[in-house]
């Protein structure tokens, strides 16, 4: 089975065309991100992903992680790969230079994150959680906490986790029961049990910094009474060296349907009454602190959906070009054609390809918006960019992870019966992808966030701006004529339907508490698909312009236009068709009573 090959050319095209990496390099703090630096980073990351991480993916899935007496053993080669990852400086590429990071734009960093996850999703979960902890401590930590933890986390010498979930409190975080009692020295004593803790215990890094949600004495009920604590696996001495083992342990590892190599731990804190934690941010403001980490993680989980779809697509194309079965039209009797020549297989491959390219555009645009939100020239520009980033985040997380599952399923289908056999390896992508729509806020929660918060964000300005941008693409495609004109028609129909759906939500949500939730999921799908089409339209216009200028890479550029045409013609109409489900309201959902559901 061929190893993963990073689509560097496509990544660079999207960085240039959609993320405007050249424009990002002109922002304060990014002057070092010159064109040759971007090329070098993409090239070196692709080598590491393809040569080091990808070969470990299937063996790691077969071996899995194991726990004995609280000690977790990751698969063979995992620790060595992690050390190479750290030594290569990949763990801290986006972190501030002040903490020994690379200070790279998020848009470029996300391209490397895509590579890690395409090559080996289970491995990549470890640095993903560390990045979120870095963000949280940067945003909410004291100067002493930043000095103690950040450089080690940035380097990757220490890793980190996020501890929210408890057995009785899944998505309802406010129901958690873990406790934090104040100690005389200003620290806290943490007690409780957390489940589903990714890389909660392992031996790859010297220390693990757990960020743990817990309740302090007298805290209000629900999410308003939650605080966030830094809980190190090994306590850190004043000189930065590691001290004694903290009172925490891994009780067990979850038996999962996928990501077997990633140790998903049940963690117990304070069994002996001496688990030391340190308040991060303000007391009872833990959710605000944790959301800094979660928002980082949600975008990165969206990248995982893109990444697994890309890897599944590569595997499906490889198989379709090699597998011979049946005859293609015009072939002589007795001859067999590679299945890539069959129309339905082409439909599946083009569906995968078009979705992957649309997802990549959305994700990189989201990252670039975050870059401009933090590094923009003035407050107005930064606020505008943050509005776009916040609008796009639920789209990136939910749409891309749903598609990660769907495109992995398509890859299994391309393989036919062999896709259901573990030997081919394509089934692992499907199993690994299935967690993505669930963790870091289920996709239903992302849809509720979109209709409940993001539509009204900044008075609705980010939504209006996005609609205006799509309208510009509609106009430009129409003016380009020829094969672009048909794309303009389809995109305009989708935009019109999306506007109608949005207006309906604005009008009906205040009057019926179930109106927006009932249509939230189809609305998110509708919104994201339309944005994806808009971005592919922009890509097609750029590809056409380059062809007209005499660019040499004609096959690549022509494929960009063809892929955009396919998306507009065969995928985008599904977004327009979602107008009915969005506006149908909640009555049909509750027409059948609870007992009838099981009748």
Tell me: do 318 and 456 sit in the same domain: no
pLDDT for 248 equals 97
- Indicate the average pLDDT of the chain: 95
Per-residue pLDDT tens for 146-176? 999 999 999 999 999 999 888 876 566 667 8
Residue 599 belongs to a domain: no
Secondary structure element (H or E) that encloses residue 277, with its range: strand 276-280
Tell me: do 137 and 255 sit in the same domain: yes
Tokens of 500: 């109608």
The number of distinct structural domains making up the chain is 3
pLDDT for 170 equals 59
Dihedrals φ, ψ of 180, to 5°?
Answer: -135, 120
The C-alpha angle 362, 122, 311, rounded to 5 degrees, equals 50
Query: Is 308:436 a contact under the CB 8 Å cutoff?
Result: yes
pLDDT for 529 equals 98
Tell me: do 14 and 132 sit in the same domain: yes
Q: Is 292 a residue whose pLDDT tops 80? A: no
Tell me: do 402 and 527 sit in the same domain: no
- What is the domain range of residue 573? 451-586
Dihedrals φ, ψ of 229, to 5°?
Answer: -130, 140
Least confident piece of the model among 10-14, 165-169, 415-419, 519-523 = 165-169
Query: Is 488:565 a contact under the CB 8 Å cutoff?
Result: no
Residue 558 belongs to a domain: yes
Q: What is the CATH number of the domain that holds 413?
A: 1.20.140.10
Per-residue pLDDT tens for 544-598? 999 999 999 999 999 999 999 999 999 999 999 999 999 998 888 999 988 898 8
pLDDT band of residue 440 (cuts 50, 70, 90) is confident
pLDDT for 370 equals 95
Residue 591 belongs to a domain: no
Higher-pLDDT residue of 327 and 437 is 437
Query: Is 524:452 a contact under the CB 8 Å cutoff?
Result: no
Tell me: do 280 and 358 sit in the same domain: no
pLDDT for 510 equals 87
Cα torsion 194, 195, 201, 207 to 10°: value is -40
pLDDT for 369 equals 96
pLDDT for 1 equals 65
Tell me: do 189 and 299 sit in the same domain: no
> Residue 190 forms beta bridges with which residues?
180
Tell me: do 431 and 457 sit in the same domain: no
* Domain boundary pick from 239, 254, 285: 285
pLDDT for 331 equals 78
With tokens 């309740």, the residue in question is 215
Query: Is 348:309 a contact under the CB 8 Å cutoff?
Result: no
Residue 595 belongs to a domain: no
- Of the candidates 117, 90, 123, the residue with the CA atom closest to the CA atom of residue 104: 90
Tell me: do 484 and 392 sit in the same domain: no
* Domain boundary pick from 285, 318, 346: 285
With tokens 């979930």, the residue in question is 165
Tell me: do 237 and 328 sit in the same domain: no
pLDDT for 336 equals 86
Could you confirm whether 440 is annotated as catalytic? yes
* Domain boundary pick from 258, 285, 312: 285
Could you tell me what percent of the chain has a pLDDT over 70? 99
Q: Is 291 a residue whose pLDDT tops 80? A: no
pLDDT band of residue 509 (cuts 50, 70, 90) is confident
- Of the candidates 466, 537, 531, 368, the residue with the CA atom closest to the CA atom of residue 22: 368
Tell me: do 200 and 310 sit in the same domain: no
Total residues found in the chain within this entry: 599
Phi-psi region of 188 (alpha: psi -120 to 50; beta: other; left: phi over 0): beta
pLDDT for 10 equals 98
pLDDT for 511 equals 87
pLDDT for 294 equals 75
Q: What is the mean pLDDT of residues 476-505?
A: 95
Give the span between the Cα atoms of 53 and 75, in whole angstroms: 12
Give the span between the Cα atoms of 532 and 542, in whole angstroms: 15
Give the span between the Cα atoms of 543 and 553, in whole angstroms: 10
pLDDT for 293 equals 73
Q: What is the mean pLDDT of residues 317-321?
A: 96
pTM, whole model, 2 decimals? 0.95
Sign for the CA dihedral angle at 389, 396, 122, 315 comes to negative
Give the count of beta carbons closer than 10 Å to the beta carbon of residue 141: 21
Out of 43, 114, 440, 552, pick the active-site residue. 440
pLDDT for 290 equals 77
pLDDT for 172 equals 62
Per-residue pLDDT tens for 558-567? 999 999 999 9
């Amino acid at each position: 089975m061929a190893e993963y090959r990073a689509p560097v050319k496509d990544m660079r095209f999207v960085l240039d065309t959609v993320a405007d990496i050249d424009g990002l390099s002109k922002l304060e703090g990014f002057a070092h991100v010159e064109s040759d630096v971007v090329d070098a980073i993409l090239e070196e990351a692709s080598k590491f992903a393809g040569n080091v991480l990808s070969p470990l993916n299937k063996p790691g899935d077969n071996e899995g992680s194991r726990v004995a007496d609280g000690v977790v053993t990751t698969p063979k080669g995992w620790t060595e790969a992690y050390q190479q990852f750290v030594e290569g400086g990949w763990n801290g590429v986006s972190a501030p230079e002040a903490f020994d990071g690379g200070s790279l734009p998020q848009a470029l960093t996300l391209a490397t994150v895509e590579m890690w996850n395409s090559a080996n999703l289970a491995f990549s979960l470890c640095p993903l959680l560390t990045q979120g902890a870095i963000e949280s401590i940067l945003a909410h930590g004291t100067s002493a906490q930043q000095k103690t933890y950040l450089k080690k986390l940035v380097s990757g010498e220490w890793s980190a986790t996020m501890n929210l979930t408890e057995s009785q409190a899944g998505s309802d975080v406010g129901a958690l029961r873990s406790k934090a009692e104040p100690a005389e020295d200003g620290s806290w004593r943490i007690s409780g049990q957390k489940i589903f803790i990714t890389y909660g215990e392992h031996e790859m890094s010297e220390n693990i910094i757990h960020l743990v949600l817990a309740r302090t004495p007298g805290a209000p009920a629900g999410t308003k009474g939650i605080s966030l604590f830094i809980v190190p696996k090994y306590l850190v001495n004043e000189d930065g060296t590691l001290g004694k083992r903290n009172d925490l342990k891994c009780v067990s590892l979850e038996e999962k349907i996928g990501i077997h190599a990633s140790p998903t731990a049940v963690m117990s804190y304070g069994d002996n009454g001496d688990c030391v934690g340190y308040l991060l941010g303000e007391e009872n403001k833990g959710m605000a602190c944790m959301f800094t980490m979660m928002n980082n993680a949600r975008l990165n989980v969206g990248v995982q959906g893109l990444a697994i779809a890309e890897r599944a697509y590569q595997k499906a194309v490889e198989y379709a070009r090699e597998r011979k079965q049946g005859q293609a039209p015009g072939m002589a009797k007795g001859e067999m054609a590679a299945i890539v020549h069959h129309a339905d297989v082409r439909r599946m491959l083009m569906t995968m390809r078009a979705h992957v390219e649309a997802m990549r555009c959305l994700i990189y645009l989201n990252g670039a918006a975050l870059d401009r939100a933090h590094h923009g020239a003035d407050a107005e520009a930064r606020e505008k960019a943050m509005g776009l980033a916040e609008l796009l985040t639920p789209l990136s997380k939910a749409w891309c992870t749903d598609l990660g599952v769907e495109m992995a399923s398509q890859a299994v289908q391309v393989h036919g019966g062999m896709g259901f056999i573990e030997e081919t390896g394509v089934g692992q992508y499907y199993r690994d992808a299935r967690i993505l729509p669930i963790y870091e806020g289920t996709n239903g929660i992302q849809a509720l966030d979109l209709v409940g918060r993001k539509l009204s964000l900044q008075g609705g300005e980010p939504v209006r701006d996005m609609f205006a941008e799509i309208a510009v693409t509609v106009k430009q495609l129409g003016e380009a004529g020829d094969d672009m004109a048909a794309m303009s028609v389809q995109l305009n129909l989708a935009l019109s339907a999306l506007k109608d759906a949005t207006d309906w939500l604005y009008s009906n949500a205040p009057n019926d508490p179930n109106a927006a939730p009932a249509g939230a999921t189809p609305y998110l799908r509708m919104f994201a698909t339309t944005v994806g089409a808009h971005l592919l339209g922009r890509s097609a216009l750029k590809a056409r312009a380059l062809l007209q200028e005499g660019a040499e890479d004609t096959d690549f550029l022509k494929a960009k236009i063809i892929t955009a045409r396919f998306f507009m013609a065969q995928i985008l109409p599904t977004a327009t068709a979602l107008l009915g489900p969005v506006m149908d309201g909640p009555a049909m959902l509750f027409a059948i009573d609870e007992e009838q559901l099981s009748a």
